[in-house]
Amino acid sequence: MIGIFDSGFGGLSVLKHFLYCLPKYGYIYLGDNARAPYGNKSQDVIYNYTKEAIDFLFFHKCKLIIVACNTASSQALRKIQKEYLPRAYPGKRVLGVVRPMAEAIASTEDIYKVGVIGTRATIESNVYKIELIKLKPGLEIFQKSTPLLVPLVEEGCINENETKMIIHKYLQPLKEKKIQSLILGCTHYPFLLDNIKKIIGSKCQVHDPGEIIVKSLKKYLSRHPELGIKKAPDQELEFFTTDDIVKFRKTGEIFLKQKIRKLEKIKL
């Protein structure tokens, strides 16, 4: 089983691509909706929440975990990988979503000005700026914290006029910088992708992070057969949330565009 963890619904934008491109694997999705958003919390709190999620998913027999949350990836992943896994789960793997995105953008020719939007914690960590400069030192990077977008997605407010106005206000400073590519530094944001593309304009490329992350996972699985993650004739798919089941199923089915059958409320 492959575990996917997010602070809420955002990771479904990644899982959607996994189910389409890697359909023969088993997945467990954990959304910590009760404590979302993570972006306005301290690094210690985010680390502890992430550790609790990882414990839960490994207890449920996951052999690999994708932290499909940019905030958790930027604030907790490195410490999890360097300190917690060797002590608590030697041989287990936990991957994030920042590095694949940075590699994809840095490898694109004729891109010199890049914008990044994300939660306050992700932007203040400078994680994308650090990774992008490592990979392509000449890049100009402009970052913008967009803290209202996660709550809007969590509430299912995707196409409301108020949401479009907020997106426009957030993106205007980046448009003025004439950025050529915009990184959606939060897995909640692809659910706003159509509106973001319209507002930022056709001269700026905007990738769906899920498309990039699934390609990265596919390569990773082929390189690491020792993890023992095998295909199966029938796909196993389970969902867990720390909040209301009815709301998770209703909103999650809209985002995934398919039925959610196995769903359980848990407390971390």
Structural domains of the chain ordered from first start:
2-96+211-265 (3.40.50.1860), 98-209 (3.40.50.1860)
| Catalytic residue of the set 21, 62, 69, 157 | 69
- Strands (E) in 32-191, as ranges, are 64-67, 93-95, 113-118, 140-145, 181-185
CA dihedral 46, 51, 54, 56 (to 10 degrees): -110
pLDDT of 233 > 90? The answer is no
Distance separating alpha carbons of residues 30 and 54, to the nearest angstrom: 10
pLDDT of 117 > 80? The answer is yes
Kind and range of the H or E element at 2? strand 2-6
- How far is CA 157 from each of CA 141, 154, 209, 256, rounded to the nearest angstrom? 29, 8, 20, 16
Q: What percent of the chain has pLDDT over 90?
A: 93
- At 125-155, the pLDDT tens digits run 999 999 999 999 999 999 999 999 999 999 9
Mean of the pLDDT values across residues 49-61?
A: 97
The model carries a pTM of 0.93
User: How many CA atoms lie less than 13 Å away from 32 in the CB half-sphere?
Assistant: 25
Query: What pLDDT score does 204 carry?
Result: 96
Are 8 and 35 spatial neighbours (Cβ–Cβ below 8 Å)? no
pLDDT of 47 > 80? The answer is yes
The rounded mean pLDDT for the chain is 95
Active site residue 69: yes
Q: Which two tokens stand for residue 169?
A: 């206000």
Active site residue 21: no
Are 268 and 242 spatial neighbours (Cβ–Cβ below 8 Å)? yes
- At 26-36, the pLDDT tens digits run 999 999 999 99
| Catalytic residue of the set 21, 62, 157, 186 | 186
Beta bridge mates, 113: 140
